[in-house]
Structure 1
Amino acid sequence: MMDRTSKEYTAFLEQVLEQVDGTIVTDAEGKVVYLNKKYADMLGVDVGTSIGKHAREIIPQTRMDIVAKMGQEEIGSVHMVKGTIPVVCNRLPVMKDGKPIGAVAFTTFRKMDEVASLFAEINRLNLEIKEYKSELVKLRGAKYSLDQVVGSSPQLQKVKELIKKVAPSKLAVLINGETGTGKELFAQAIHQLSPRKHKPFVRINCAAIPKELLESELFGYEEGAFSGAKKGGKPGKFELANEGTLLLDEINELPIFLQSKLLRVIQEHEIERVGGIKPIEIDVRLICTTNRDMQDIVRKGEFREDLFYRINVVDVSIPPLRQRKEEIRDLTSHFIKKINVNHGLGITGIKENVLRLFERYRWPGNVRELEHVMERAAVMAISGELDEAHFDYLLPRLLGNTETDSAETNGSASLGKVKDVAEKQAILNALSKANGNKTAAARELNIHRTVLYAKMKKHGIV
């Protein structure tokens, strides 16, 4: 090759360019410098007479002159040749000393079915990637991040900041809070913010599994360990969570006889299967949750003190909803969007009078109760705004379990206020009993229908 003349090199390069489906080269002004025979045949022109012509004379819709002038490549451009032949081409500027001196274009396909098959393959691969990602999320077990935690109250912001600080570490975390506050959601957020986010997130509820089975669920068992044991044995939750995170939900329900074994696992970083004879090394980040006062349980002797201090390296307390009622409006908006998607509904919002009632309620079931209440009402309404009528089943509970203002709390509620609450509840009960028929409800209350209308307007009942 080194002995070849420049003429032979030129002939060799031209032969290479002739192998491409379609090749055209222009100078900086867009005039054709080179056109291979394949492209000329496709265009229905002669190679010899095309050289020196402006590219637009043989390809009216070309952009070769623009690419040559701007010096910017155009990849995957689709245009029609002779009005019927779809062509996909890549146009590249020819650069010298940092300036464009021409352009070259290569057609990569001549048949649309070839393009379509490529797009179909790309779509198939994208779907596969999406499915794999979805499966990976399921295998990891954690699907919620801290960004998905709705709420901006000072109490919740404090919790979020604490989680951001401790998540990257290996420290054990104890999350405490009332039922329905979303403790598992925060546990998943810790996992997602940690270096273990690509590893498994495994959860086990210590209260949901019979005590006699809990040991094998946690630590696994060897073949023949007990009657009914699977052939080959079975790994426990600790093994499944290796290199990832293990959530022990309702840790306060862990039996005393397992607490000592858990303490050893935390200290030695190894487990022993039921019926096993050799230890198995593990690397697990432990997160525990509880809805009870753990110190009180420790004082009563129901939980080992040394284990408590091992799992309570970082204490995260989730405030109940009644202490952050300013979040109710954001939460209801969030749940409406979620419910609309899950159930195919068209709920547009919730009436202000209902929100005010929500803000007076104590919400003993916390965020979970609010979500279930919203979901039931939305399914009944199907579309439009949610009003008091959609929460008729809940109103006696709402009115009977509301938080009053400071004067009422101090025992100085006015007689008029008490009468108003009782009157409103009586009207709602009558309307519910009459299935919304106002004439029947007025008869039930032994008042005239016009009086009922006036009282409904007074109490904001639609």
Structure 2
Amino acid sequence: MEPGLAWPLSSEFWSNIMPNGRWKALPTWEQNFCFLYLINKRIIMKFKILILDDEQIVCNSLQRILENKETDIFTSRETAEARRIICEREIDLVLLDYKLKNENGLNFLKEIREEHPEMPVIMITAFGNVDLAVEAMKSGAFDFIQKNQEPEFIRFTVKRTLENLRLRKEVQELRKSCLEENNLPEIVTVSSAMQKTLELANEFAKTDVTILITGETGTGKNLVGNYIHAKSMRFHQAYVSINCAAIPRELMESELFGYEKGAFTGAHERGKKGLIEQANKGTLFFDEIGELSPDLQGKLLHVLEENKYFKIGSVEPSSVDVRFIAASNTDLEEAVAEKKFRMDLFYRLNVAHIHIPPLRERKEDIIILAKFFIEEFNKKFNKTINDFTPEAQRFLESLSWPGNVRELKNLLERAVLLKKDNVLRLEDFGDGQMKQKGYHKDETFPSMLSLDLNNPGKDNLLNTAQKMIIEQALDYADHNRSRAARLLKIPRTTLNFYIRKHEIE
């Protein structure tokens, strides 16, 4: 028990709720109040349970057994209705009949596991045997009960499942609060390639395996490393990042391993904690791991294999519990072939591999990222930009982005900083930027005119074509008539004539 507390709250408990020791600054009454709040939150947490059985009498019976102040019970006799209830009511637990009237319950179980992998399912059946239970558990069921079992046993099975679910929800809440507290950046994406990368990251986050992240510069390797840490069970511990290319080689060892008092001339009298020690219980991220010197590669390999390291000047090894994530924008396999990187270290790092696709291979992310950065820079520079013109959008989508997301962010930061009104236009990116990036707006007018020459109508197709191409040019030029006239290679007066002729708004 912590001194002065009325309840047995350990340092570990408070460290989970308020990292970095900030709980110690709370007065005793506030610590007690927080404890009561958490207990109260735990008590009033309600769970939504769906009972799916083709016999109404079974549904009613189970509902009577399970109904209490912590549960909201829903019943269904058909899978179609059950699907609707699961989506609309955000169901927490499903009790599923093994043998439905028109469908195999196992098939619906597999469907639930695919659509809602975190949702526990308890199979229920009138025919209990070991083979059925094993089959259900293999298909992803959390537990298995018989309809004729005692009510107390059914309550116990459901309560045990809900307690497991409650624990997961509390961990998720704690993780969410830690993410908000640390103000971690978001990963913004709609592309299928990046979604697959995040799915892989989520799977790796459940384990403590060493991960190698590869990708071009500016793709967000450190961000993905931070994402994995936040999704792992180490989320409330330190995430330490080191850029191997930014620290001189002669200083890298002391930065990484630290040193003892008097280890060398000029050493601090109290010694120094290395980054490995700082990351103990947490995650250590190595950016540009390929820049690590050969001698340090060997020492890092020893840490990975033995979970021990030597401080400079120490004769006794120190134990450490760290999750290692390494990143590189170069081909490490090629570096191994050229004897620039240790083969054994490469294989030890490459237990799990994540590749981040470059921005040019996920064009659909460009605009959503641009909007995200605009919102960020609005807050930073006190701006009110809320949109950008179609021509500006086409400009952003047309580039190859060799610097990837970092380049996009830097370009938008400059544009937002200098913007006076609330709409970003093509000219806001500057003629120098467009010239540097090889963009020539007058040469990119798309050809999208499509006419049905077999149209039986009486419309003059020539007039229709004129109207369509003028409307297209005006739209492309953001309704700037001078720019539209330049695109069409006609005088502005001629354009005005056709606008009036075809009654174009």
| TM-score normalized with structure 2 length | 0.52
Identity of aligned residues (%): 41
Q: Is 1:399 equivalent to 2:438 in the alignment? A: yes
1:263 corresponds in structure 2 to 301
- 2:330 aligns to what SS in structure 1? coil
Change in CA separation of 1:452 and 1:357 when aligned onto 2, cut-off 3 Å: farther
Which residue of 358, 371, 388 maps to 1:333?
371
Change in CA separation of 1:274 and 1:361 when aligned onto 2, cut-off 3 Å: same
Q: Is 1:245 equivalent to 2:313 in the alignment? A: no
2:9 corresponds in structure 1 to none
Kindly provide the CA deviation profile for residues 312-332 of structure 1, in whole angstroms up to 9, marking residues without a partner as x: 111100000000001111111
- Structure 2 counterpart of 1:320, one-letter code: P
Residues 125-164 of structure 1: matches in 2 within 5 Å? 143-144=183-184, 148-164=186-202
Separation in 2, partners of 1:265, 1:451: 76
Say if 2:179 and 2:230, in contact at 8 Å, map to a contact too.
no
- Structure 2 counterpart of 1:284, one-letter code: V
Count of aligned residue pairs for this structure pair: 282
2:242 corresponds in structure 1 to 204
Which structure has the highest strand share of the two? 1
1:370 corresponds in structure 2 to 408
Alpha-carbon RMSD across the aligned residues, in angstroms, is 3.3
Change in CA separation of 1:135 and 1:207 when aligned onto 2, cut-off 3 Å: farther
- Structure 2 counterpart of 1:399, one-letter code: G
Gapped regions of structure 1 (runs ≥ 5)? 1-132, 408-437, 458-462
Residue 382 of structure 1 and its aligned partner are, at CA, apart by 3.3
Residues 216-365 of structure 1: matches in 2 within 5 Å? 216-365=254-403
Say if 1:346 and 1:382, in contact at 8 Å, map to a contact too.
no
Say if 2:244 and 2:286, in contact at 8 Å, map to a contact too.
yes
| TM-score normalized with structure 1 length | 0.57
Residue 448 of structure 1 and its aligned partner are, at CA, apart by 12
1:173 corresponds in structure 2 to 211
Separation in 1, partners of 2:195, 2:381: 31
Say if 2:194 and 2:357, in contact at 8 Å, map to a contact too.
yes
Separation in 1, partners of 2:310, 2:440: 50
Kindly provide the CA deviation profile for residues 395-446 of structure 1, in whole angstroms up to 9, marking residues without a partner as x: 11233599999x9xxxxxxxxxxxxxxxxxxxxxxxxxxxxxx9xxx9xxxx
Say if 1:362 and 1:401, in contact at 8 Å, map to a contact too.
no
Separation in 2, partners of 1:270, 1:361: 47
Change in CA separation of 1:357 and 1:137 when aligned onto 2, cut-off 3 Å: closer
Residue 161 of structure 1 and its aligned partner are, at CA, apart by 0.5
Say if 1:143 and 1:188, in contact at 8 Å, map to a contact too.
no
- Structure 2 counterpart of 1:330, one-letter code: I
Residue 222 of structure 1 and its aligned partner are, at CA, apart by 0.6
- Structure 1 counterpart of 2:187, one-letter code: V
Change in CA separation of 1:400 and 1:384 when aligned onto 2, cut-off 3 Å: closer
Gapped regions of structure 2 (runs ≥ 5)? 1-174, 448-481, 500-505
Separation in 1, partners of 2:323, 2:344: 18
Separation in 2, partners of 1:452, 1:298: 66
Point out 4+ residue stretches in structure 1 off by more than 4 angstroms. 133-138, 400-405, 447-454
Separation in 2, partners of 1:278, 1:401: 65
Q: Is 1:195 equivalent to 2:206 in the alignment? A: no
Larger radius of gyration: 1
